[in-house]
Amino acid sequence: MKAQDQYLKFVRWEEADRLYVGYCPDLFPWGGVCHGRTEEKAYSQLCGLVADEVEELQQAGKELPPPSTRPMREAVPA
C-alpha cells in the first residue's frame, strides 16, 4: 500500500459550482481542492494532489498526519 492510500478521498457534485469537487479532509481540511466536469476527472486530479502532498511532506522530513477521516461504512455502532 502506498502512503497516500491511507487517506479518504472523495468527490461530490457541488450545485453552486456546477462541477464535481474533490476532497481529502486529512490532508486538506479547508475544503475542496480540485474541480472537474466529470467525477473521473475530479478524482484523478485529487489523487494526484494527494500523492504530491504526501511526497512533499516526506521529502521535507515531516510526519504525515494520521488518517482520521473514515467512510461511514466503517463506523462502529455505540
- The pLDDT tens digits for 20-56 are 999 999 999 999 999 999 999 999 999 999 999 999 9
Asked if the structure places residue 75 within a domain, the reply is no
pTM of the model: 0.84
In sequence order, what are the beta bridge partners of 65?
A: none
Asked if the structure places residue 50 within a domain, the reply is yes
Asked if the structure places residue 76 within a domain, the reply is no
The one-letter code for the residue type at 65 is P
Q: Please, are residues 12 and 21 in contact by the beta-carbon 8 Å criterion?
A: yes
Asked if the structure places residue 38 within a domain, the reply is yes
Give the model's pLDDT for residue 1: 84
Residue that has been written with the C-alpha cell 494520521 in this structure: 66
Q: 23: domain CATH number?
A: 3.30.160
In sequence order, what are the beta bridge partners of 52?
A: none
Phi, psi of 61 (to 5 degrees): 75, 20
All three cell numbers of 76? 462502529
Asked if the structure places residue 78 within a domain, the reply is no
The domain of 56 spans: 3-62
Domains contained in the chain, number: 1
